[in-house]
């Protein structure tokens, strides 16, 4: 998995790129939370649930259905997020889905159960370029962790920064209409 720090790159880039009028600060926080929420499934390790279980790591919490449910919850609380329901739903959906998509780019693990409950199959993208993050604190702060941060910078943060800049420029300099 990418580090928890890098899972926020997509909603951060979209939120900053579109600006406060489109993505309110409260909605941005909800999107950031939705982008890391799927990894709360690591508690399954402590409960003795096997990694390969659909209730285990990268199981149901990484599915499109889970992302849809989180987005529906955001739509229900759109007023508190100071956002329109459709905006809250769409932004949180993209934020939650981005988690599994980024995990599908990693070099380790069993894949993502993105189609759960319709399929128990786990998926990776054909190209896996993001180094999987070590779960051990000692390894995380060693050479293995540095390799992860380097791959995340290249494959997650730089594209996210480009997306943010593109959205910002499109917002600040909209195309001229010709009649």
Give 135 or 175, the one with higher predicted confidence: 175
Kindly state the tokens that stand for 109. 């693990």
Kindly state the tokens that stand for 43. 């508690």
For residue 28, being part of any structural domain is answered with: yes
Number of domains in the chain: 1
Residue 32 confidence class, pLDDT cut points 50, 70, 90: very high
For residue 169, being part of any structural domain is answered with: no
For residue 46, being part of any structural domain is answered with: yes
For residue 168, being part of any structural domain is answered with: no
Please tell me the predicted confidence (pLDDT) of residue 51.
67
For residue 172, being part of any structural domain is answered with: no
First to last CA, the chain: 49
Predicted structure pTM score: 0.91
For residue 176, being part of any structural domain is answered with: no
Predicted confidence (pLDDT) at residue 1 exceeds the cutoff of 70: no
Lowest mean pLDDT, pick from 42-46, 100-104, 151-155: 42-46
Task: Tell me which residue range forms the domain holding 58.
Answer: 4-161
For residue 173, being part of any structural domain is answered with: no
**Non-local CB neighbours of 94 within 8 Å, separated by 6+ positions:** 10, 11, 14, 31
Residue 175 confidence class, pLDDT cut points 50, 70, 90: confident
For residue 178, being part of any structural domain is answered with: no
Predicted confidence (pLDDT) at residue 50 exceeds the cutoff of 70: no
Predicted confidence (pLDDT) at residue 178 exceeds the cutoff of 90: no
CB 145 within 8 A of CB 133: yes
Please tell me the predicted confidence (pLDDT) of residue 177.
81
């Amino acid at each position: 998995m990418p580090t928890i720090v890098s899972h926020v790159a997509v909603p951060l880039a979209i939120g900053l790129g579109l600006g406060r009028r489109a993505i309110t600060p409260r909605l941005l926080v909800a999107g950031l939370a939705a982008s890391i929420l799927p990894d709360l499934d690591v508690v399954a390790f402590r409960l003795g649930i096997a990694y390969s279980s659909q209730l285990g790591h990268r199981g149901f919490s990484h599915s499109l259905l889970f992302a849809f449910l989180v987005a529906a919850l955001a739509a229900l609380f759109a007023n508190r997020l100071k956002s329109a329901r459709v905006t809250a739903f769409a932004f949180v959906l993209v934020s939650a889905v981005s988690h599994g998509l980024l995990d599908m780019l990693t070099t380790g693990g069993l894949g993502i159960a993105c189609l759960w409950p319709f399929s128990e199959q786990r998926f990776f993208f054909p190209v896996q370029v993001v180094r999987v993050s070590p779960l051990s604190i000692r390894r995380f702060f060693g050479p293995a962790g540095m390799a992860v941060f380097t791959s995340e910078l290249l494959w997650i943060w730089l594209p996210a920064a480009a997306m943010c800049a593109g959205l910002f420029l499109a917002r600040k300099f909209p195309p001229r209409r010709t009649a």
